């Protein structure tokens, strides 16, 4: 199965998609990751989540308008807040469909937005089809949640989300999608059972919204993961093989 994954990457490279690694992390990103305002529960996860490399890969910088779509408890939201600074803004966007099933998520985001340490964060709750922000976005980001929308709410909801994010971004804006890889060719069959999704399925669907896949980061890849275990299993949790796609809205 790993050979199929390699074949997919080679095919992508042949189609002009680069394999990118953020070798140099800007000082403002390093400072954001090392901020004392981040809780210990977040920093304890840094070793396996590689936030500095991922944020550098996304190109998030001071002054940016950023949407953290399905932010969970705000792990990346807090980092984005410190990176964009006083001249930028972060919108923690929870889809209405998810908020109804998991009300603790928007509650956590409301508390984060009220925290004086993160004054540039706004919590929003909107349907997946209406994802937007008060200002046009430089970057939209979703981490380990695309499979939830696709699997629990339907492929049509995921497509509507992609279209809404495309509209919400500035021309030339970036959409980052990170998720747990499923066995190639399985589509969204394991989205609810294993919380995984086929990388090619995501690539195809996002590009159908008008995006172009620009690059893939290998920083979260793990060849030891055979893609058949639920991501919460102790043997693989925090070590799953994950794809990291950077899509761009044409300028």
- pLDDT tens for each residue of 39-73: 999 999 999 999 999 999 999 999 999 999 999 99
pLDDT above 60 (res 9): no
Percent of the chain with pLDDT over 70: 91
pLDDT of residue 228: 97
Percent of the chain with pLDDT over 90: 86
Rounded CA separation 219/76 (Å): 16
More confident residue, 150 or 97: 150
Rounded CA separation 176/211 (Å): 11
pLDDT in tens, 138-158: 999 999 999 999 999 999 999
pLDDT of residue 18: 54
Q: Helices 75-84 and 51-58 meet at what angle, rounded to 10?
A: 60
Contacting residues for 115 by C-beta, under 8 A, at least 6 apart? 121
Confidence of residue 19 (pLDDT cuts 50, 70, 90): low
pTM of the model: 0.90
2-248: CATH class: alpha beta
Length of the chain: 251
Is residue 151 packed enough to be buried (19+ CB in 10 Å), middle (13-18) or exposed (0-12)? Answer: buried
Confidence of residue 110 (pLDDT cuts 50, 70, 90): very high
pLDDT in tens, 198-245: 999 999 999 999 999 999 999 999 999 999 999 999 999 999 999 999
């Amino acid at each position: 199965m790993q050979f199929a994954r390699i074949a997919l990457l080679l095919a992508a490279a042949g189609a002009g998609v680069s394999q990118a690694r953020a070798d140099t992390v800007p000082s403002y990103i390093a400072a954001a990751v090392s901020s004392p305002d981040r809780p210990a529960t977040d920093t304890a996860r840094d070793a396996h989540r590689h936030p500095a490399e991922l944020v550098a890969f996304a190109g998030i910088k001071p002054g940016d308008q950023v949407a953290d779509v399905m932010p969970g408890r705000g792990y990346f939201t807090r980092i984005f807040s410190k990176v964009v600074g006083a001249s930028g803004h972060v919108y923690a966007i929870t889809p209405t469909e998810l908020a109804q099933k998991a009300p603790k998520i928007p509650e956590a985001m409301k508390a984060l937005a009220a925290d004086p340490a993160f004054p540039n964060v706004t919590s929003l709750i909107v349907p997946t089809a209406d994802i937007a922000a008060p200002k046009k976005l430089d970057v939209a980001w979703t981490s380990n949640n695309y499979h939830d929308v696709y699997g629990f709410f339907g492929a049509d909801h995921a497509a509507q989300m992609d279209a809404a994010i495309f509209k919400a971004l500035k021309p030339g804006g970036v959409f980052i999608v990170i998720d747990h890889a499923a066995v190639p060719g399985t589509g969204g069959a394991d989205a609810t059972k294993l919380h995984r999704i086929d990388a090619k399925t995501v690539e195809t669907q996002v590009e159908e919204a008008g995006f172009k896949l620009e690059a893939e980061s290998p920083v979260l890849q793990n060849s030891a993961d055979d893609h058949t275990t639920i991501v919460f299993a102790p043997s693989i949790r925090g070590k799953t093989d994950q794809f990291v796609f950077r899509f761009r809205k044409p300028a």
